[in-house]
Amino acid sequence: MELRQLRVFEAVVRHGTVTDAAVALGLAPSSVSARVRALEESLGVPLFDRTVRGMRLTPSGERMLTWSRRLLDAADQARREVVGTASALRLGALETIAATHVPRVLARLSEARGRGADRVEVRSSASRDELLADVVGGTLDAALLLDTGGALGDLGFPQPEAPLTFLDVEPVPLSLVAAPGNPLAGRAGLTRADLRDQSLLVNVEKCSFRLAADRFLGPGPARVRAGGVPVVRAWAEQGLGIALLPAFAVAEAVGRGALAELDLPVPDISLRLVWRSDRESLPGLRELLYACAATPVTPPNGLGRAVSTPSVATNS
């Protein structure tokens, strides 16, 4: 059993096919297949069922996945201790919050650990599913996502296959906005029913803010596919529809009068740190969790949980 075989094994699990794993690893598909077969031969059991839809783990493969991550973690830690290098925490984050929220997390970590910020590797992604898969697979130690409620995925996205633990770091306020000329602008006490004849500008179905709109605004306003946050905001300024966006993304436009905030309060969503509970013993990971919650935060509308020390929940 070789470490390179284990890394290839995990890549096939993460990407689902030999071809996709080969692209991610920069190897030829034949090399990926050969290493998987060599690992199976060394163990004497099949780890995958080969199907037309890709590679699916056998029961033996499921057990191997747990051991593979432990062995690779142990090998990485041994290498760091032998050569005297500091362990780097691998943190993933949604692109939407990478620029606005991750620096504060790193600042808290730096304050707690001195030079801790230069020991964190941050990778952003537009795909929540990809980040969760990498946390489950062990290529990320933790990830910052947007969510709500008492269970992972309550915002509306599918729960991952493996149990994960999470911590709500801070609230992310949302704003329902429209161009100043919209008939709802300036009206007090709006309800969901008032949105029925409006067009709601949205991104793809798995976008956090679209999921929040589905949860908090209901099906009334017709969805109009626009694009990411900058595109949705620009279209709203042009009067093409209303938009539910993070308050930090529209504050400047509201301040200069290009957008008007509609009087229909919506709950905050949460900046949520997600990790695998069986990896908390990794050097520095628990420090990251405490650093993320270094500043107590109480949502102003009473929704969610106040955070002063890591209050965790497990998705099972």
**Phi-psi category of 160—alpha, beta or left, where left has phi over 0 and alpha has psi -120 to 50?**
beta
Can you tell me whether residue 272 is helix, strand or coil?
Answer: strand
Rounded to a whole number of angstroms, the CA Rg of the chain reads 22
| CATH class as words, domain 174-261 | alpha beta
Query: DSSP readout, 105-167?
Result: HHHHHHHHHSSGGGGEEEEEES-HHHHHHHHHHTS-SEEEEEE-SSSTTTTSSPPPSS-EEEE
d(CA 245, CA 92) in angstroms, rounded, equals 22
H/E segment holding residue 174: strand 174-178
How far, CA to CA in Å, does 286 sit from each of 81, 265, 308, 310? Answer: 19, 35, 14, 9
Q: Can 3-83 and 174-261 be said to share one CATH topology? A: no
d(CA 151, CA 249) in angstroms, rounded, equals 26
- Superfamily (CATH H level) for 89-171+270-315: Periplasmic binding protein-like II (3.40.190.10)
What confidence score (pLDDT) does residue 282 get?
66
Residue 41 neighbours by CB under 8 Å, 6+ apart: none
Q: Find out whether 94 and 207 touch, Cβ atoms under 8 Å.
A: no
One-letter amino acid for residue 296 of the chain = P
Using alpha carbons, select from 144, 162, 157 the residue that is nearest to residue 65. Answer: 162
Query: CA angle 117-121-122, nearest 5°?
Result: 100
What confidence score (pLDDT) does residue 313 get?
44
Q: pTM value?
A: 0.69
H, E, C per residue of 1-45: CCHHHHHHHHHHHHHCCHHHHHHHHCCCHHHHHHHHHHHHHHHCC
Query: DSSP readout, 204-256?
Result: -TT-HHHHHHHHHH-S-SEEEE--SHHHHHHHHHTTS-EEEEEHHHHHHHHHT
Splitting the chain (316 residues) into consecutive groups of 10 residues, what average pLDDT does each group show?
90 89 90 94 93 88 86 78 67 86 78 57 84 81 89 84 80 95 95 95 90 92 93 96 95 96 94 82 67 48 32 39
What confidence score (pLDDT) does residue 162 get?
66
Domain boundaries, the chain: 3-83, 89-171+270-315, 174-261
CATH number given to 3-83: 1.10.10.10
